[in-house]
Structure 1
Amino acid sequence: MTTPYERTCSLILANDLLDYLLDSINSEVPEPARLLASHIRKHYPNNSELQAIADSAVRGAATSPLLEPSAFSKI
């Protein structure tokens, strides 16, 4: 079972991966992958938006939250 902490770390790392794929220095990334990453990045929440989602999930969660705010300080 995936924990909120693991889920949050995965979202943060996916955000970093999208940034890496779109970095102009990384010319070895094929154009189709860059185009797909660009499309995904337009709608993907940045780390501060993910932090806000995690914070609101903790405040409103009666049970285990979907995301873990403490993960942001560890990555």
Structure 2
Amino acid sequence: MTGVPARVDLVEPLGQELLIYASAGGQELTARVAPGVRAEVGLDVLLGFDPEQLHAFDPDSGERLPTPRSPLPTPPRR
């Protein structure tokens, strides 16, 4: 498992899970975690994640970025 040190900006409880909005190195991160996870605004945390479960998005377009497990399809050649 990989981890990223981050600071919690917002915690959103959603019943079956929590969304943790955090920042790390000028980047915004969102983590979906179990409701029992301790998370408070301003807390420095290590966000651990399985790289195969990672979803990354382009900050300008909002488009999903390719990952090693699910590359985006290549347009057909003409």
TM-score by length of 1: 0.20
Question: Relative contact order (C-alpha < 8 Å, sep 6+): which is higher?
Answer: 1
TM-score by length of 2: 0.19
Report which of the two has the higher share of strand: 2
Report which of the two has the higher share of helix: 1
